[in-house]
């Protein structure tokens, strides 16, 4: 991938992000923040790449592994906690009587 | 193009699409929960895509598998446990912690690549590519470090482990932060010049910058800061995407970065604060040392729980205004019991939710939903404001600045222009509060001086418990 095309990817990705969130009811600010936060843990892919390409370099393997741990802590925790919050909203209508 | 490349391309494309749909769906109540799961699925899909690509091309060594498994098990396990255990009241600091760890991850990847140049060994790169490589490593480290230390400071402040040190409110802090910023710039150029050891300088000063910028910010503005740091962690991920040459990472990171920025702006609007004043203005109370709040209270009426119960019993319509204090006292369940009793007596009960009630926009909705308050009873500010004149009793529980009429009447007040709930329009207002201390803003609340306002002093949970007892004695809700 050439640098220029990566820059295009960056630009289009940013524009997409700006467009996606138009009107958000205040109720959803906290869950949305938490869900977006989980997605930012996508760096786990970078950590994985690092580990795979490390070969026999043990310090690098360890750095990659710690990085992967941090990222997955972010991803797994983030999605679970968002689900917990959202479960409270969606429970209402069905569980009422 | 061979098969593994094509497969990875298709999977990446699909993952981006699903992530975008996920973020989109998260902004609507109906679709939010499914959207969250969709995003989680997209993330797992992207991992499958990446691993299958390497399996199909270079292969993955046993040693790598071991470290992958160790890292993912430990990280996921801690994340899942924390997410299940943490009480709903500590949601903001939990999000901050998760966010900080995402930043840390980007930082470590960049650091790893910088110390041990991998992939298509550095000698093969021409000058231009080398430059890009070093710039993206620096950005990833810089933003990652700020995200990490900033989030940790934000978490510690919300938990009450860290207070705002006095010196951070003086002008000195700007000088200190400028020094850190300049130092990171020097380290950055030094790094590009080929001096690899300056990477440590970059790590240290950008970490310090993260602390220096977050520390002076007051608790009320913390949600905005967390949202901004969330946006940063997206940028850090995108930078890490440049480091390891991954388009998926760049798209997803950029998406989160941009969406986070928009969300930050929306939150600022709800609090009537500009992003600039949040970041550089210091804490609001320090900024305006009781400027318009210097006035003493002249007409405070205090009343007992018993009187409050009597008035409630005679009411037809009651509006509850819950605030941060309610969350701190963990009184939302007790509150629900009180309102149940009132409802059983045929009294109409509605909750008025200010956009920034609680500690984070939407936080109060989550807390009340947890206490089984029906969703239909939660009314947003614009919807409920016209109802106050026709309301008999308003119960203000641990809210302060959001019910301050100064925001509408007094153009010299720092609160002026902030959207507030017009509780003073109601026939009677009860404010349940521990003492006469000011709210976040440190500003006097004119509401307390009004003739139709009575103060009920005490811890919200204790007062509500007493209220249940009094209502029982009156025979309310005994059917």
- Interior/surface letters B234-251, b for 16+ CB within 10 angstroms, e for the rest: bbbbbbbbbbbbbbbbbb
User: Which contacts of B462-465 are long-range, i.e. CB under 8 A and separated by 24 or more positions?
Assistant: B463/B305, B463/B432, B464/B331, B464/B334, B464/B335, B464/B337, B464/B338, B464/B397, B464/B432, B465/B334
* B358, pLDDT greater than 50: yes
pLDDT at residue A95 in the model: 41
Give the residue-averaged pLDDT of B414-428.
Answer: 82
Supply the pLDDT for residue B103: 94
pTM over 0.90: no
Closest CA of chain B from A97, distance in Å: 12
Using CB atoms, which residue from A36, A48, A96 is nearest to B47? A48
Closest CA to B250 of B14, B10, B50, B16: B16
Give the catalytic positions of B in this structure.
401
C-alpha B76/C-alpha B142 separation (Å) is 26
For chain B, give the number of residues: 479
Nearest by CB: B230 against A40, A44, A50: A40
Whether the per-residue pLDDT at B100 is higher than 90: the answer is yes
Distance in Å, alpha carbon of B424 to nearest chain A alpha carbon: 24
At residue B204 the predicted structure's pLDDT band, cuts being 50, 70 and 90, is very high
Q: Would you call A3 and B132 a contact, using CB atoms and an 8 Å cutoff?
A: yes
**CA-to-CA distance for B212 and B281, rounded, in angstroms?**
13
Q: Give the dihedral of Cα atoms B45, B49, B51, B53; nearest 10 deg.
A: 170
- The CA distance from B91 to A31, in Å, is 10
Q: How many Cβ atoms are within 10 Å of B402's Cβ, its own excluded?
A: 26
CB–CB of A13 and B250 under 8 A?
Answer: yes
DSSP string, A51-63: HHHTTT-HHHHHH
DSSP B297: P
Residue B209 sits at the vertex; the CA angle it makes with B205 and B215, to the nearest 5 degrees, is: 140
pLDDT tens digits for A38-84?
Answer: 999 999 999 999 999 888 888 899 999 999 999 999 999 999 999 98
- The phi and psi torsions of B347 (rounded to 5 degrees) equal -90, 135
Contact A88 B67 (CB under 8 A): no
Residue B292: its pLDDT value, please?
44
Closest alpha carbon to B422 in B458, B453, B385, B450: B385
Interchain pair A3, B375: CB under 8 A: no
């Amino acid at each position: 991938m050439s640098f220029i095309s990566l820059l295009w990817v960056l630009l289009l990705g940013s524009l997409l992000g700006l467009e996606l969130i138009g009107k958000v009811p205040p109720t959803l600010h906290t869950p949305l923040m938490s869900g977006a936060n989980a997605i930012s843990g996508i760096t786990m892919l970078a950590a994985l790449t690092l580990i795979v390409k490390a070969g026999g370099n043990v310090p690098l393997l360890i750095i990659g592994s710690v990085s992967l741990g941090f990222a997955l802590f972010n991803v797994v925790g983030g999605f679970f906690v968002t689900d917990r919050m959202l479960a409270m909203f969606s429970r209402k209508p069905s569980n009422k009587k | 193009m061979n098969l593994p490349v094509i497969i990875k391309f298709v999977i990446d494309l699909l993952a981006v699409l699903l992530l975008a749909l996920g973020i989109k769906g998260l902004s609507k109540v109906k679709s939010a929960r499914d959207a969250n799961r969709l995003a989680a699925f997209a993330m797992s899909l992207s991992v499958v895509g990446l691993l299958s690509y390497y399996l199909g091309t270079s292969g993955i060594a046993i040693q790598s598998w071991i470290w992958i498994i160790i890292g993912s098990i430990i990280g996921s396990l801690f994340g899942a446990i924390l997410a299940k255990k943490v009480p709903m009241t500590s949601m903001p600091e939990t999000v901050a912690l998760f966010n900080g760890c995402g930043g840390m991850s980007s930082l470590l990847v960049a650091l790893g690549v910088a110390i041990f140049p991998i992939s298509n060994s550095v000698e093969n790169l021409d000058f231009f590519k080398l430059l890009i490589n070093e710039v993206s490593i620096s950005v990833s480290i810089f933003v990652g470090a700020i995200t990490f230390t900033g989030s940790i400071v934000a978490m510690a402040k919300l938990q009450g482990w860290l207070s705002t040190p006095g010196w951070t409110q003086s002008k000195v802090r700007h000088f200190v932060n400028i020094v850190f910023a300049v130092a990171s710039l020097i380290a950055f150029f030094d790094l590009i010049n080929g001096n690899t050891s300056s990477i440590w300088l970059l790590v240290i000063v950008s970490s310090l910058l993260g602390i220096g910028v977050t520390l002076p910010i007051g608790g009320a503005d913390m949600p905005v800061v967390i949202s901004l740091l969330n946006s940063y962690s997206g940028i850090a991920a995108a930078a890490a995407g440049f480091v390891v040459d991954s388009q998926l990472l760049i798209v997803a990171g950029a998406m989160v970065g941009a969406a986070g920025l928009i969300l930050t702006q929306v939150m600022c609007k709800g609090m009537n604060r500009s992003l600039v004043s949040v970041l550089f203005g210091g804490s609001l109370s320090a900024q305006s040392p009781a400027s318009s709040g210097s006035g003493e209270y002249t007409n405070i009426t205090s009343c007992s729980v018993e009187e409050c119960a009597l008035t409630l019993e005679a009411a037809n319509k009651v509006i509850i205004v819950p605030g941060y204090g309610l969350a701190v006292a963990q009184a939302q369940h007790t509150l629900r019991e009180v309102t149940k009793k009132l409802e059983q007596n045929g009294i109409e009960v509605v909750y008025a939710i200010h956009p920034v009630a609680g500690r984070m926009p939407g936080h109060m909705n989550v807390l009340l939903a947890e206490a089984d308050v029906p969703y239909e009873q939660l009314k947003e500010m614009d919807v409920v404001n016209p109802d106050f004149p026709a309301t008999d009793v308003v119960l203000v529980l641990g809210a302060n600045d959001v019910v301050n009429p100064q925001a509408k009447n007094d153009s010299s007040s720092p609160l002026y222009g902030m959207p507030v709930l017009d509780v003073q329009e109601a026939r009677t207002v009860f404010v349940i509060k521990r003492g006469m201390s000011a709210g976040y803003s440190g500003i006097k609340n004119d509401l307390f001086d009004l003739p139709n306002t009575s103060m009920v002093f005490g811890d919200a949970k204790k007062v509500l418990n007493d209220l249940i007892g009094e209502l029982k004695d009156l025979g309310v809700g005994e059917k």
